[in-house]
Amino acid sequence: MMTFHESGLVHRDIKCDNILLHSPSGSGRVYAKISDFGFAKKEDSTNQKTYLAGTLPYMAPDLFERQQKLSQKVDIFALGITFYRIITYRYPL
């Protein structure tokens, strides 16, 4: 996620279904990889969102504000929801 954000991109659809796990045989390690870049968009100060994109339970409240600028904060929010869902197997209230 950090590398993606350093490139100035916002994924806009972080969720459990879009995180793939890979474990090379014999390594004893598991790597998480982000997939599905269909909603990804460049972040900049003039880039206002033109439509809602993402999966509702993972969407940051900022996305529902009319004139909100697109920022990487929406991915961080969705990542928090994703971790919560992985740990508790439910959505936060």
Catalytic residues: 13
7 vs 85: CA distance, rounded Å: 27
- 10 Å CB burial of residue 12 (0-12, 13-18, 19+) is buried
Q: Which helix (H) or strand (E) holds 78?
A: helix 73-88
